[in-house]
Structure formats: C-alpha cells, structure tokens
Amino acid sequence: MLDYILDILKYDQSSPLIFTRFFFWGFFAVVLIGYSFLSNKRISRSLYLLVFSLFFYYKSSGFFFFLIIFSTLVDYIIGWWLYGTKNEVYRRLLLAASIFINLFVLAYFKYSFFFTSAINDMFGTNLTAYNYLAEFSNLLTGTSFDTAKIFLPVGISFFTFQTMSYTLDIYRKELEPVKNIIDFGFYVSFFPQLVAGPIVRAKDFIPQIYQKFSLSRYEFGLALFMILKGLIKKIMIGDYIAVNFVDRVFANPTMYTGFESLMAMIGYSLQVYVDFSGYTDIAIGVALLMGFRLNENFNSPYKAKNTGEFWSRWHISLSTWLKDYLYIPLGGNRNATAGTYINFALILGVVMMLASSLWVSLGIVAGVILVLIIMRISPAAKKGVVRNINIMITMLFGGLWHGSSWNFLIWGGLNGLGVVTYKYWRKISPWEKYNNVIATVWKITLTFGFITFTRVFFRAPDYETATTMLHRIRTVFSPELIPQIISGYYKVWLMMLFGFITHWLSYNFKDTWRDKFINLPHWSQALISALIIFIIYQSICSDMVAFIYFQF
C-alpha cells in the first residue's frame, strides 16, 4: 500500500498528469471532496488549491515546479514595491527588473540551445549549453536528468506571461497587489489552466479570489458540457486523425503523395484546433465547477473571413496579451516608438542567428539601410512602414514565443504578412462589400486555406520537411490514386468531416443543443455523460497523446 502511494506521489516524465488520463479525474475528485468543505473559507480555499495546484505541476514537470515558486515570489515582491513606490524612475526600474527576470528564465529554458548553436555557427566556437538546475536536482533529490539537455518545463510560457501581466497592470495602476502570497500563488498556479492556458490576466482572476463561492444550476450543467465537449474534441477527433494519418505523413512526407500531404495539412489544421480548444474547454469546465470563471480562448476561428479576424478568434488570451502589452505600447497602428526599432532590431538579430551566415547578415544590414534611406526621402513610404511594422513585430514575436526555429519565425512572419496584406486588399477587393452566402464561403475558404498553408511550418519538425510537403503537393499530386487513398483512409475522412461540420454549424444551433443538455435533470446528464465517456475512451487507439501546446 505504501509503495502504491509513493508511486502516486512520484514524478514520472513519461506519464505527465493530463486531462485525458483517468488519474487526473481521480485527482480532481479528491480535490472536489476537500474543496466542498472549504469553498466559502477564503484563505483556506486559496491555500488548499495552491497545494494541489503545485502537486499537479510537480506531476507535470517534476523538480522544476520550483520555477513557478520562484516566479511567484519575484513578482509578488516586485508588485508590492511597485505599488508603494511613487518615484517614477524607481517604478520603471522595478518593472524592468520583473520583465528581465521573467524573460531571462523563459529564455534560459526555451532558447539556450538556439543561442549557443547560433553563436557556434557564426563564430566557429565550441560553446555548450549546460543545465545547472538539472545538476542541482540530481544532487538534491537523486534524479537522473541529463545536464547536457535543457528540459522545457511544461507551461512555462503561460505562467511567465501571467506573472508579467500582474506587474505590468500594477505599474499601469490598473490593479492593486494581492493581499497575501497565498492568494497570489494560487492565481499563478491554478491547475486547470496552468500548463496550456488560457493565459489568465490578474485583473480578471484575482477579484474572483475575494468573492464567495457560487455555482448556479446552469453553470454546473455548462461546466459538465464543456468538459465533455473538450474530451470529444481531443480524444475522438484530434488524437484519432493524428495517430492514424497526420503524424504519419509529417514524419515521412516522401512516402506519401501530394494529395496525402495536402490532406495532412488540412487534417492538422483541424487537429491543432480541437486539441488546443479541447484543453481550454476542459479547463473552463473544471475551473467553473470550483466557482472560477475563465475567459473564452477560441471563438470558432475557422469561420473567420480574413486573417485579422482569425487572430481575434484564435488563442484569444495570447493574441490580446500581445496586443495590450506589446502592440499598443509600441504605438499600435498610429506610429512607431523607440521600442519599435529596438524590438525590430532584436528580431533581425534572431534572423541573422538562425541564418548563421555572414552574407545573410550583411544582406539584412544592407536592406535595413536601404529602407531607412527610402523612409528618409519619402514621407509617404515612412508612414506606410511605421503603420505596419508593429504588426509584423507582434506576429514575429508570437512565432518566437512558440519556439526558436526558422519554422516558427516563418509561420509568424507569414501570418503578419497576411494581416498587413488584407489591410490593403480590402480597399480594392470586389468581394469586400458582399456578405451573401457565396461571398462569405469564398472569404472563409480563402482564409482557411492561407492559415492551413502557414501551419505546415508550424507542424513540420524542420524547414526541409515543410518544403518537401509543399513540393510534393505541386509535383507528385497523383490524382489517379485519390480514389484508392480515400478508400484506404475513409474513417479518417469521416472523422475530419465530422469535426469541420460541427465547427461550422451556426451558433444558434449549437447553443440550442448546449442549453438542452444543461436544462436536463441531473440523472439524465449523468447517464448521457457516462455514455459519452464510454464512447470516447473506446475510440482510443494508442497511449494517451499529450496536448500539443504542452510543448510551449
């Protein structure tokens, strides 16, 4: 018995604690049982959920859960200093310290190998990245982490952005600091959204900590509905098409025809949506059962009629975070600030490191000088550049947030170009003034096609794989094999069709059926839930697949 308990408490890197594992629902049941006695005792409630949230993160990242404790302490202390300091110079220094510390920790774990490799390629050095925290963990706890590898803690990008938003909002005087470290630690580590979002703003969540627990009958039904919907999206649709088709094509594109490569790209667009939005749905439902309301993170993104609208519907918490804390401070669509040029220089520096070529670097410098000369000569050209450069910076940083590679940079850059291009296209497009069915379908199809094209760089393990797939679509499409391919993968196509149809159904239709479920008697909800869960887990065709955004 003791060995069994120790196994439960032990961190297992090969078996992280994720929503789709039965162990999580056992964990959540234990949390709810204890929570039912503490839901209206504010401090005890926060402490209770803080302890279980840290355990949840420990089961996901092991020893590195100390990172979230470190980030919590740093921003809690700096937040109070900011609030109590009137001197503007000191306030800016404190804010800069918070941003530097948070981004340094994020960069160490996420970009150390990238910077080390880039410097070695550019200057012929032999620098090596070394994981000092792994060595410390091995000495302190007896773990066996490889010090030559830097393990990326799950969800580090998400909780880093959360703690940064806290100090930024205090600096802007939009938020007062929390009353104690327990409440703040609970906000940072709240387990439903901890490892894959949504990114929760302090000003949206912290006021809920001080409110009494409340959960209406409608909200209980909604929470249950969201959890079931998320499991259907993730396991039935996302994992099925990934394991049975998408992953195979991206792993060995030369073994498949261009038609299969095209369908894998379309399939991945569906997979990444149902995977990520499915996680968010479950997180919203689980949080709501405990009386906490998380913001919407997806709003039917594949109904978008242009790239700009797509990014207002996709990963809303990240898009709005980048807009409020990067795009607008840089000047938005009005002008360029000193920060615009500094950030653009940083991105160009990253591009030169990725290229690892002196000639490419010289070409970039020459191009920048040429643009500056043109801006100096032509005020109209300058206005056009500064109007759109902030969009490109925001989208490129969004790409780099996901990872340090050419693929993510290209993906972010293409989406930035899509947003900028649409700003001009809508002025001359003959379709823009039409909103009938044909025009709407055309706009949605064009936007979805563009987003799917950019996703090949997001999904492919490297640039060569991405270009290979695109090349095979152009040169090895093999239309004569399409009937055979359709027959061979008919179950995958049916699942993809089901996913897209349910996504494109009208809001009224989906809301009607959601409300029908919510208004059912509890015994009916229990029977339907049991049936759906049975069907969901019958569809599992391999070991549990981790959520895609765990890697970010």
Same domain (yes/no): 36, 166: yes
Residue 516 pLDDT level (bands cut at 50, 70, 90): very high
Same domain (yes/no): 180, 315: no
Query: How much of the chain exceeds pLDDT 70, in percent?
Result: 82
Q: Is residue 358 over pLDDT 70?
A: no
Per-residue model confidence (pLDDT) at position 338: 66
Per-residue model confidence (pLDDT) at position 380: 67
* 474 in a structural domain: yes
Type of residue found at 322 = L
* 291 in a structural domain: yes
Per-residue model confidence (pLDDT) at position 353: 64
pLDDT digits (tens, 9 = 90+) for 179-237: 889 999 999 988 888 777 688 888 888 889 888 888 899 999 999 999 999 999 988 89
Same domain (yes/no): 538, 503: yes
Same domain (yes/no): 271, 370: no
Per-residue model confidence (pLDDT) at position 533: 86
Residue where a domain terminates, one of 428, 447, 482: 428
Residue where a domain terminates, one of 428, 455, 485: 428
Task: Collect all residues with Cβ–Cβ distance below 8 Å to 228 and sequence separation of at least 6.
Answer: 529, 532, 533
Same domain (yes/no): 18, 75: yes
The total of other beta-carbon atoms located within 10 Å of residue 175's CB is 20
The total of other beta-carbon atoms located within 10 Å of residue 415's CB is 27
Task: Collect all residues with Cβ–Cβ distance below 8 Å to 6 and sequence separation of at least 6.
Answer: none
- Between 18 and 248, the higher pLDDT residue: 248
pLDDT digits (tens, 9 = 90+) for 313-334: 998 988 888 888 877 777 766 6
Per-residue model confidence (pLDDT) at position 509: 92
* 418 in a structural domain: yes
* 450 in a structural domain: no
Q: Which long-range contacts (CB under 8 A, 24 or more apart) does 326-333 make?
A: 326/393, 326/394, 326/397, 327/390, 327/391, 327/393, 327/394, 330/390, 330/393, 330/394, 331/386, 331/390, 332/390, 333/387, 333/390, 333/391
Same domain (yes/no): 344, 390: yes
Residue 454 pLDDT level (bands cut at 50, 70, 90): very high
Q: Is residue 13 over pLDDT 80?
A: no
Same domain (yes/no): 233, 354: no
Q: Residue written as tokens 């379709």? A: 431
How far apart (Å, rounded) are the C-alpha atoms in residues 300 and 310?
9
pLDDT digits (tens, 9 = 90+) for 295-307: 889 999 999 999 9
Residue 280 pLDDT level (bands cut at 50, 70, 90): very high
Same domain (yes/no): 66, 208: yes
User: Radius of gyration over alpha carbons of the chain, in Å?
Assistant: 25
Per-residue model confidence (pLDDT) at position 140: 64
How far apart (Å, rounded) are the C-alpha atoms in residues 388 and 332?
9
* 79 in a structural domain: yes
For residue 76, the enclosing domain spans 11-213
Residue 181, CB-side half-sphere exposure with 13 Å CA sphere: 12
Across the range 475-484, mean pLDDT stands at: 86
Angle among Cα 397, 279, 413 to the nearest 5 degrees reads 20
Residue pair 390/340 in contact (Cβ under 8 Å)? The answer is yes
Q: Is residue 40 over pLDDT 70?
A: yes
Same domain (yes/no): 273, 206: no
Per-residue model confidence (pLDDT) at position 17: 72
Same domain (yes/no): 44, 156: yes
Per-residue model confidence (pLDDT) at position 363: 72
Per-residue model confidence (pLDDT) at position 199: 86
Per-residue model confidence (pLDDT) at position 285: 93
How far apart (Å, rounded) are the C-alpha atoms in residues 298 and 103?
26
**For the whole model, what pTM was predicted?**
0.88
* 197 in a structural domain: yes
Same domain (yes/no): 42, 175: yes
Across the range 439-461, mean pLDDT stands at: 91
pLDDT digits (tens, 9 = 90+) for 167-192: 999 998 888 888 889 999 999 988 88
Average pLDDT over the chain, rounded to an integer:
83
* 442 in a structural domain: no
Which of 53-67, 216-230, 345-359: highest mean pLDDT?
216-230
- Strand ranges, E, within 96-232: none
Per 3-state DSSP, the chain is made up of helix, strand and coil in percentages (nearest 5) of 75, 0, 25
Lowest mean pLDDT among 93-97, 143-147, 241-245, 336-340: 143-147
> What is the count of structural domains for the chain?
3
Residue where a domain terminates, one of 197, 213, 229: 213
- Between 5 and 190, the higher pLDDT residue: 190
Across the range 14-36, mean pLDDT stands at: 82
DSSP 403: -
Residue 478 pLDDT level (bands cut at 50, 70, 90): confident
pLDDT digits (tens, 9 = 90+) for 366-390: 777 777 777 677 776 666 677 778 8
Per-residue model confidence (pLDDT) at position 41: 85
Residue pair 453/239 in contact (Cβ under 8 Å)? The answer is no
Q: Is residue 4 over pLDDT 60?
A: no
Tokens coding 552 = 């970010």
Residue 424 pLDDT level (bands cut at 50, 70, 90): confident
* 180 in a structural domain: yes
Burial class (CB within 10 angstroms; exposed 0-12, middle 13-18, buried 19+) of 358: exposed
Query: How much of the chain exceeds pLDDT 90, in percent?
Result: 23
Q: Is residue 311 over pLDDT 80?
A: yes
How far apart (Å, rounded) are the C-alpha atoms in residues 82 and 75?
10
Same domain (yes/no): 505, 520: yes
